[in-house]
């Protein structure tokens, strides 16, 4: 009984997120839908709306589509920027779309080439992607018995809150308690490894749900249940997310005569005209009317547009999301990563005295020689400390500054029940984004878009 998966666990929610969804092939009858936002969720919404027979106008405030996942392109080669890995076997909606567009996955070599997690007094060389046994083999050779014991306790506690318990309003700090949350294993191992991948800063450990933190460990890093049994050998590895899917979807959309794409144009207002039709006003002076609207932006971007016209439950839910500053540095300083595919590290901010986490990583994590790497840093004060003290600033090529939603106890519990009910109450204004589905990967953006399009079409989830 103890090891039985709880029917309301995060693992069950992720199984629901992985389930196949039949998308409508007609019935839109030429009605017009405006999609606001050209990230993976907006592009996917447009794709499935066109497939269902709607006319679609997509509006993107930047010059290119892709959202936080646009690639840096040099001499025709793609270099991943804000998101650099994907795990296709656990992301069936993403994998299915890649197959549809004949995109073959490019594997990293996580399981063969160890990266590093820097503890206070030593560097742990760890190979990811080889499963739990391989992971433990690397760890047990390099840690003390105390570190190993603390680490196993932390893994067990998160496993319980991922699979054996229902989703609850227990934070990372609540679950670990004062000793473990302040242990060197948590601050210097789990936070730079898991925190960086679940958008959890040290500021957030008392409000990020334990089940969200645990979901990355047991859904992706130390996978406990396979989501797509049809995946081939390559698709069962960590692979490169390099922008090809974004370009393929965009080209597909633009080949459809019922599609319009407006880039470098920002939506300033959504309202209703005298005939109760929806109207979208942009900073270019355009006023576009439509039958329905799908807003596919970050929640804090959507809220100002929808707070006066959107359904009350939707507006209330959007108000629960705060944002964080993220800095993604594309650079050629290999002093920390050397020839490794990745390195996670916890630093102490010299001004504030607080911990912060970084992740330096090669776009293609293999033994291929690459002349650029990427470093992720959260919060402006930490970015300033990092570029001042830990990187050769002359080697910085470009810094991206995406704004990310913060997962909290208020917006991340029973999310599928919450969003199913909200989508069912919407009639002509909808919102979708990857974060609705627990993490922010392409799979989450695609499945959220599918659910919204089905709801808009009258099919429900």
pLDDT at site 113 = 81
Residues 6+ apart with CB under 8 A from 102: none
Average pLDDT per block of 10 residues along the chain, 461 residues long? 80 96 95 96 98 98 81 55 76 97 87 81 77 75 87 96 95 97 95 92 96 94 93 91 87 97 96 89 94 97 96 97 93 92 94 96 74 92 97 93 92 95 96 92 95 96 91
pLDDT at site 1 = 36
Residue 123 has which token pair? 């560097």
pLDDT at site 23 = 97
pLDDT at site 84 = 67
**Which fold would CATH assign to domain 10-87+240-321+407-456?**
FAD/NAD(P)-binding domain (3.50.50)
Q: Cβ distance 69 to 40 under 8 Å? A: yes
pTM of this prediction? 0.93
CA-to-CA dists, residue 346 to 142, 362, 376, angstroms: 18, 18, 12
pLDDT tens, position by position, 37-48: 999 999 999 999
Crossing angle of helices 40-51 and 442-456, rounded to 10°: 40
pLDDT at site 8 = 95
Cα–chain-centroid distance for residue 454?
A: 22
């Amino acid at each position: 009984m103890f090891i039985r998966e709880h029917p309301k666990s995060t693992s069950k929610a992720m199984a629901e997120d992985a389930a196949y969804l039949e998308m409508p092939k007609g019935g839109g009858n030429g009605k017009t839908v405006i999609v606001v936002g050209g990230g993976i969720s907006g592009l996917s919404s447009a794709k499935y709306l066109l497939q269902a027979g709607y006319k679609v106008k997509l509006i993107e405030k930047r010059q290119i589509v892709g959202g936080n996942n646009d690639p840096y392109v040099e001499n025709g080669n793609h270099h991943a920027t804000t998101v650099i890995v994907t795990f296709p076997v656990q992301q069936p909606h993403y994998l299915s779309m890649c197959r549809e567009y004949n995109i073959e996955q490019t594997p990293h070599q996580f399981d063969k080439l160890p990266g590093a997690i820097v503890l206070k007094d030593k560097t742990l060389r760890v190979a990811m992607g080889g499963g739990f046994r391989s992971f433990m083999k690397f760890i047990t050779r390099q840690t003390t018995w105390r570190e190993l014991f603390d680490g196993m306790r932390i893994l067990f506690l998160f496993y319980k809150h991922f699979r054996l318990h229902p989703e609850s309003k227990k934070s990372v700090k609540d679950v670990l308690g004062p000793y473990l949350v302040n242990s060197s294993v948590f601050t210097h191992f789990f936070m730079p490894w898991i925190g960086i991948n679940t958008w959890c800063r040290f500021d957030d450990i008392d409000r990020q749900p334990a089940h969200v933190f645990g979901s990355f460990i047991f859904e992706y890093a130390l996978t406990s249940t396979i989501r797509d049994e049809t995946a081939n050998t390559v698709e069962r590895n960590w692979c490169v997310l390099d922008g090809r899917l974004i370009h393929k979807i965009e080209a597909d959309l633009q080949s459809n005569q019922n599609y319009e794409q407006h880039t470098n144009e920002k939506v300033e207002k959504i309202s209703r005209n005298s005939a109760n039709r929806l109207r979208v006003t942009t900073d270019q002076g355009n006023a576009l009317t439509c039958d329905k609207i799908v807003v596919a932006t970050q929640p804090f971007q959507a809220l100002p547009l929808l707070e006066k016209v959107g359904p009350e439950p939707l507006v209330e839910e959007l108000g629960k999301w705060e944002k964080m500053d993220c800095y993604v540095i594309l650079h050629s300083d290999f002093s920390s990563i050397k020839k490794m595919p990745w390195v996670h590290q916890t630093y102490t901010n010299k001004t504030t005295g607080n911990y912060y986490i970084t992740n330096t990583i090669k776009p293609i994590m293999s033994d291929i020689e690459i002349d650029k790497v990427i470093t992720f840093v959260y919060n402006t004060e930490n970015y300033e400390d990092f570029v001042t003290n830990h990187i050769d600033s002359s080697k910085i090529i470009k810094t991206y500054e995406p704004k990310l939603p913060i997962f909290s106890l208020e917006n991340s519990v029973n999310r599928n029940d919450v969003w199913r009910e909200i989508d069912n109450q919407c009639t002509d204004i909808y919102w979708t984004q990857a974060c609705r589905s627990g993490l922010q990967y392409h799979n989450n953006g695609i499945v959220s878009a599918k659910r919204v399009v089905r709801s808009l079409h009258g099919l429900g989830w």
